[in-house]
């Protein structure tokens, strides 16, 4: 399952599932790869986590396009 790293608080990462029921999970920061940043897409594989660099790059690009698109008059 894929998660998005929402933020870090007091030694924990708060993760949001990329789909499905919205339920924030807390994971100890030291259980994630050291390169993990806020906004990264991470995948749980058994007891290990990995950053999905391709999914993270695609997500960042979608967000960049969404927030840089000109506003439509309305």
Q: Is the pLDDT of residue 51 over 80?
A: yes
CB 36 within 8 A of CB 8: no
Instruction: Give the pLDDT score at 39.
Output: 94
Query: What count of other Cβ atoms lies within 10 Å of the Cβ of residue 9?
Result: 10
Mean local confidence (pLDDT), 24-50 = 96
Query: What is the distance between the terminal CA atoms of the chain, rounded to a whole angstrom?
Result: 39
**pLDDT higher at 33 or 72:** 33
Instruction: Give the pLDDT score at 55.
Output: 95
Q: Is the pLDDT of residue 27 over 70?
A: yes
Q: What confidence category does residue 34 fall into, taking pLDDT thresholds of 50, 70 and 90?
A: very high
Query: What count of other Cβ atoms lies within 10 Å of the Cβ of residue 52?
Result: 16
For the full predicted model, state whether its pTM sits above 0.85.
no
């Amino acid at each position: 399952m894929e998660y998005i790293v929402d933020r870090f608080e007091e030694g924990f990462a708060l993760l949001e599932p990329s789909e499905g029921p919205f339920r924030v999970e807390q994971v100890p920061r030291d259980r994630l790869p050291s390169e993990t940043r806020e906004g990264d897409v991470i995948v749980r594989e058994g007891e290990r986590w990995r950053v999905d660099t391709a999914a993270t790059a695609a997500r960042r690009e979608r967000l960049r396009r969404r927030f840089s698109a000109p506003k439509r008059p309305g």
